[in-house]
A and B are shown apart, each in its own frame.
Chain A
Amino acid sequence: MDELYLDNIDEFVNDHDKIVTYKWLSLTLGVHVNTAKQMLYHYLDHKRKESSAQLHATYLVSGKFEDNGQTGHKVSVVKEDQLEDFKSKMSLVVSVHVYSVQKALLKDSGPLYSVDYDAVKDNLKNCTKFSAIRCASAVPMSSLELQQARQIHQVPAPEPEHKKPAMNGEANASKPSTKPQKGIMGMFASKAAPKNQDNVKDIKTEQKEDTPVAEAPKSKPAAKANPMMNFFGTQTAKKPDKTEKKEEAAQSSSSAEVQRQSSQPEEKREAPAVQPPKDTKKEARSKSKRVVDSDSEEEKMEKKKRRRIKKPEPDSSDEDVIPDSPQQMKTRELSPSPEKEVEPVSHSPSQGNSQKTRKRRRVLKARTFVDDEGCIVTEKCYESESYSETEDDVQATKQASKDPVPAKRPASHKPDEKKSQKKTSANANKGSKQASIMGFFQKK
């Protein structure tokens, strides 16, 4: 064992032509820093006696020196030939040890820094594991403590908590899977559509696999979540970020799922119309088939929804979206409060396994009002309204084709939900392309 390290260092220095600093050695071999320094010293000694290879070393000298009557402490990395010179300049030499060993003569101390930087970067979590000083209080806080610490600073904390049980059952077919890309590419909305579709397909194929793969998509939204942080930008966004980080550390699908769900409610609260990207994870559970055609429609709907929230964002995103935007702006001014109505044509997210939840979605509605001149005007506009899954389901089945689809409650089998989902999405498809013929029979 004792001789092994000599060979190791030999290999590093001669064969790999590396600069072996004591820190790099300690992190690579997993030894205490003082042991690493001794190893380097012995190695150097050994090789010098053998006088085989041409080795150069740098030393670390630290000591006291006088400067205008003020004693100061000086720590320097010096080359071997300057060692004695430095030592003589100091009034008191506190410590000298080998800093690094390398084959080539170093002109500049820059490479020493980069070697150490790389070594530390690879071992960020335990960079002080092999140091000589321990700190009892320097223990990373658990996610619970972090949340507590953050809640002390934050005020609007309690809302996410009580929404949790309601939100648990959300799942979404294609909508949420497109969200992550949309959050980032909201600026480039026109280009987003084809890209989103591809991504959607990718995510779908991923999600169809089992839980072992749940880790892979998990890291994806984590990466996407970070750009999304800028998008949301408020304090609650930190929670999903932190929980995402914890997920990566935990690396177990079950715990990850739990944390993912907890992160969802915060997102939900922020942008109720925009479905949180974390919903993608639900796909592990819902194996419903996605209809590719419906994606494009739903994407457009999503864009519309997002537009409402992203009003202060640059105009480019607005212009790229659907042409009846000016109309929408006008109607928004006229009708400040969205009406809550049950509407048959739903082209918003259809749920897979969701429970009875109330959500907001955009719906094409006709509004009748009296304008300035005293004329009665009917306008079609998109309004957001809240609805619950049950109503949607019932409506969907009403509009179903001749197939006798039993009106099942959402908590039932997946195949049935799949069917109803298909139908709603099919209807959504029709609804957004042109005014449905059923619009004539709409409830006012």
Chain B
Amino acid sequence: MELQPSILREISDEHNLLPQPARAKYISETDELILEDELQRIKLEGKIDRDKCVTGSVIAIYGAERNDGKFTVEDFCMADLPPQTPRPVLSSDRFVLLASGLGLGSSHADSMLGLQLLIDMVTGQLGDQGEQSGAANISRVLLAGNLLSQSTQDKDASTKPKYLTKKTQAGSVEAIRLLDELLLQLVASLPVDVMPGQYDPTNYTLPQQPLHRCMFPLSSVYPTLQLASNPHIANIDGVRFLGTSGQNVLDIQKYSSMESHLEILEETLRLRHLAPTAPDTLGCFPFYQKDPFILEECPHVYFSGNATTFESKLVKGPDGQEVLLVTIPEFSSTQTACLVNLRTLECEPVSFSAFSANDDEESEMNISH
């Protein structure tokens, strides 16, 4: 791919001293699709959509090689869904709340009341008795990454000299303290799984290690707090959850023409690989013997966090597998979380809102028309 950032190109190109601008999409017309195995590579053409394929996909192709050395594809297939153990039949409704992108520590704290409303609802303080009894059926909360906002990632700390930054506290310190207090309210009421995300204080490469318990002195005392890695597998009441904080999906979105997170999620499921672009464009630990991102067993709920909108879909596999795909929206911008019903495998968005001064002005404008 021509536009893919390449360090070699930057070094070898003496005239071009400007760094490549950060782009939203790195696809271009001159990209080529190449199939390779241990022995050779061959260019592909034909009934295969070049822009939808990403580096690292394992596929099987059917076609013929032409004289000019290119392979014409007539059909192709992927590994498709892995085998799945059937999920247990639950007698009553049980819910799991999925949320991501809390964005704590950001400069504009508009979403804080929404977050407080979320916590109040889950811990049973909000709403009247009917709602509270509904909320009592929520058996777990799963926070899928980006608990801290991007603004806590202080670039200045690395560029500014030490004597200027010695006394200043990192932005993430206050944010983590806030997160600890929020988690304390949650863990006193129900089990919580916390996954790290792109902007959280843990390692950058996948798989990200769980956030360290020393950062949560108040809430780590409770056994209900589970600090999980990214990606994360959870078995909640017999229902298998598998998901990431969204870095794999975002990366595929950048390097292919697919826009919808849900579409990408389904693609990775059918490829049977969580993060095909790792380690090419997505940072990951250099595994060499075994690839842990290959899906061995099919989950019942497959999610990815930090999407732009909420989307969900039930996918049926060739062997009778049933998977609920969920893209969890970013809470800091959408004020929406997802509620998954474990009995029926349905997902519902839960949104929170408050009023602000701007609302009055907007309604006045409508009236004037």
Answer yes or no: are A and B bound together in one complex: yes
Question: Which chain A residues have a beta carbon within 8 Å of chain B's beta carbons?
Answer: 22-23, 26, 33-34, 37, 58, 60, 62, 67, 70-79, 82, 94-97, 107-110, 112-113, 116-117, 120-121, 124, 127-128, 130-135, 137-141, 145-146, 229, 238, 241-242, 245
A209 nearest CB across to chain B (Å) = 29
B189: contacting residue among A62, A67, A133, CB under 8 A: A133
Q: How far is it, in angstroms, between the C-alpha of A233 and the C-alpha of B30 when the chains are bound?
A: 51
7 A-B residue pairs with CB within 8 Å:
A72-B350, A73-B350, A113-B112, A127-B188, A138-B222, A145-B223, A242-B217
- The answer to whether A109 touches B187 (Cβ under 8 A) is no
- The answer to whether A128 touches B188 (Cβ under 8 A) is yes
Q: Which residues from B are CB-within-8-Å of A108?
A: 355-357
Q: Mark B82-115, 1 if CB is under 8 A from A, else 0.
A: 0000000000000000000000000001001100
A119 nearest CB across to chain B (Å) = 11
**Is B130 interfacial (CB 8 A cutoff)?**
yes
B348: contacting residue among A37, A73, A127, CB under 8 A: A73
**Is B123 interfacial (CB 8 A cutoff)?**
yes
Known contacts A127-B188, A133-B132, A138-B187; is-contact A75 B351 (Cβ 8 Å): yes
- The answer to whether A79 touches B181 (Cβ under 8 A) is no
Q: How far is it, in angstroms, between the C-alpha of A76 and the C-alpha of B356 when the chains are bound?
A: 12
Known contacts A78-B355, A131-B123, A138-B224; is-contact A113 B135 (Cβ 8 Å): no
B363 nearest CB across to chain A (Å) = 8
Residues from 289 to 348 in B contacting A, C-beta threshold 8 Å: 336, 339, 348
- The answer to whether B125 touches A33 (Cβ under 8 A) is yes
- The answer to whether B128 touches A135 (Cβ under 8 A) is no
**Is B184 interfacial (CB 8 A cutoff)?**
yes
Total residue contacts A-B, CB cutoff 8 A: 153
Minimum CB distance partner of B135 in chain A? A133
Q: Which residues from B are CB-within-8-Å of A78?
A: 355
Q: How far is it, in angstroms, between the C-alpha of A404 and the C-alpha of B213 when the chains are bound?
A: 57
Residues from 199 to 235 in B contacting A, C-beta threshold 8 Å: 213-214, 217-218, 221-224
Q: Which residues from A are CB-within-8-Å of B131?
A: 62, 94-95
Q: How far is it, in angstroms, between the C-alpha of A252 and the C-alpha of B355 when the chains are bound?
A: 48
| The 9 residue pairs across chains A and B that have the minimum distance between CB atoms | A133-B124, A109-B354, A132-B124, A95-B128, A113-B113, A76-B353, A95-B127, A72-B349, A132-B132
**Is B117 interfacial (CB 8 A cutoff)?**
yes
Known contacts A34-B128, A107-B360; is-contact A245 B217 (Cβ 8 Å): yes
**Is B190 interfacial (CB 8 A cutoff)?**
yes
- The answer to whether B127 touches A62 (Cβ under 8 A) is yes
B114 nearest CB across to chain A (Å) = 9
- The answer to whether B217 touches A72 (Cβ under 8 A) is no
**Is B129 interfacial (CB 8 A cutoff)?**
yes
Interface-centre pick from B191, B221, B223, B339 (highest chain A CB count, 10 A): B221
- The answer to whether B127 touches A60 (Cβ under 8 A) is yes
Minimum CB distance partner of B360 in chain A? A107
Q: How far is it, in angstroms, between the C-alpha of A77 and the C-alpha of B109 when the chains are bound?
A: 16
Minimum CB distance partner of A133 in chain B? B124
B130: contacting residue among A23, A71, A95, A146, CB under 8 A: A95
B94 nearest CB across to chain A (Å) = 14
Q: How far is it, in angstroms, between the C-alpha of A303 and the C-alpha of B348 when the chains are bound?
A: 62
A75: contacting residue among B126, B128, B355, CB under 8 A: B126
- The answer to whether A110 touches B113 (Cβ under 8 A) is yes
Q: Which residues from B are CB-within-8-Å of A137?
A: 191, 223-224
**Is B352 interfacial (CB 8 A cutoff)?**
yes
Q: Which residues from A are CB-within-8-Å of B184?
A: 124, 127
- The answer to whether A76 touches B188 (Cβ under 8 A) is no
SS of B interface (majority): mixed
- The answer to whether B188 touches A116 (Cβ under 8 A) is no
- The answer to whether B181 touches A124 (Cβ under 8 A) is yes
- The answer to whether A117 touches B127 (Cβ under 8 A) is no
Q: A107-B356, A229-B214 are in contact. List 18 more A-B contacts (CB 8 A).
A: A33-B124, A62-B121, A71-B348, A74-B353, A75-B121, A75-B352, A94-B130, A108-B355, A110-B109, A113-B116, A124-B184, A127-B184, A127-B185, A132-B124, A137-B191, A140-B221, A238-B214, A241-B217
Q: How far is it, in angstroms, between the C-alpha of A71 and the C-alpha of B349 when the chains are bound?
A: 8
**Is B142 interfacial (CB 8 A cutoff)?**
no
A141: contacting residue among B128, B217, B222, CB under 8 A: B222
Q: How far is it, in angstroms, between the C-alpha of A349 and the C-alpha of B146 when the chains are bound?
A: 49
- The answer to whether B121 touches A34 (Cβ under 8 A) is no
A131: contacting residue among B125, B130, B221, B224, CB under 8 A: B125
Q: How far is it, in angstroms, between the C-alpha of A117 and the C-alpha of B112 when the chains are bound?
A: 10
A72: contacting residue among B127, B187, B348, CB under 8 A: B348
Minimum CB distance partner of A249 in chain B? B221
Q: Mark B243-263, 1 if CB is under 8 A from A, else 0.
A: 000000000000000000000
Q: How far is it, in angstroms, between the C-alpha of A231 and the C-alpha of B222 when the chains are bound?
A: 27
Q: Which residues from A are CB-within-8-Å of B349?
A: 67, 70, 72-73
- The answer to whether A109 touches B113 (Cβ under 8 A) is yes
Minimum CB distance partner of B224 in chain A? A138
Q: How far is it, in angstroms, between the C-alpha of A241 and the C-alpha of B217 when the chains are bound?
A: 9
Q: Which residues from B are CB-within-8-Å of A94?
A: 127, 130-131, 134
Q: How far is it, in angstroms, between the C-alpha of A147 and the C-alpha of B359 when the chains are bound?
A: 52
- The answer to whether A73 touches B339 (Cβ under 8 A) is yes
Q: How far is it, in angstroms, between the C-alpha of A204 and the C-alpha of B132 when the chains are bound?
A: 55
Q: Which residues from A are CB-within-8-Å of B352?
A: 74-76
- The answer to whether B222 touches A23 (Cβ under 8 A) is no
- The answer to whether A79 touches B355 (Cβ under 8 A) is yes
A247 nearest CB across to chain B (Å) = 13
